[in-house]
Amino acid sequence: MDETRKKRLLYRANYRGFKEADILLGGFLKTHIDELSDEELVAFEDLLEAKDHDIYAWITKAQPVPANFDTPLLEKIRQYRPEF
């Protein structure tokens, strides 16, 4: 993976402005970025375009996920458990 793209994704995932989303998205990406496929990285970039509160609600299953975001990647993010 291109290092610039990697750094940009990590930054965008970690500094969302909604702490819970920062922890889940940033932590997931930091842990798994080197093992994600190009398709999953594109799906992650697409996910980052959504609003933080929506993403968090989809991850926690508080709201239904729109079809375009209901991907295997989202399920991987749901399975991620951050370490504190």
Residue 32 domain flag: yes
- Supply the range of the domain harboring residue 7: 3-79
Decide if pLDDT at 56 tops 90: yes
Report yes or no on 23 lying in a domain: yes
Dist CA 9 CA 40 (whole Å) = 12
pTM, 2 dp: 0.92
Is residue 48 domain-resident? yes
**What mean pLDDT is reported for the chain?**
95
pLDDT for the residue 27: 96
The residue-averaged pLDDT of 43-64 equals: 96
If phi > 0 it is left, if psi is from -120 to 50 it is alpha, else beta; for residue 66 that is: beta
**Model confidence pLDDT, tens digit, residues 1-19:** 789 999 999 999 999 989 9
Residue 36 lies in a domain: yes
Domain count for the chain: 1
Question: Is residue 19, in this structure, part of any structural domain at all?
Answer: yes
The CATH number of whichever domain residue 39 belongs to comes to: 1.10.150.250
The answer to whether position 84 is within a domain reads no
**Which residue's structure tokens are 């959504």?**
50
Query: One-letter amino acid identity for 43?
Result: A
Query: Quick one: pLDDT at residue 84?
Result: 76
58 assigned to some structural domain: yes
Instruction: Please state, as a whole number, how many other Cβ atoms lie within 10 Å of the Cβ of residue 52.
Output: 16
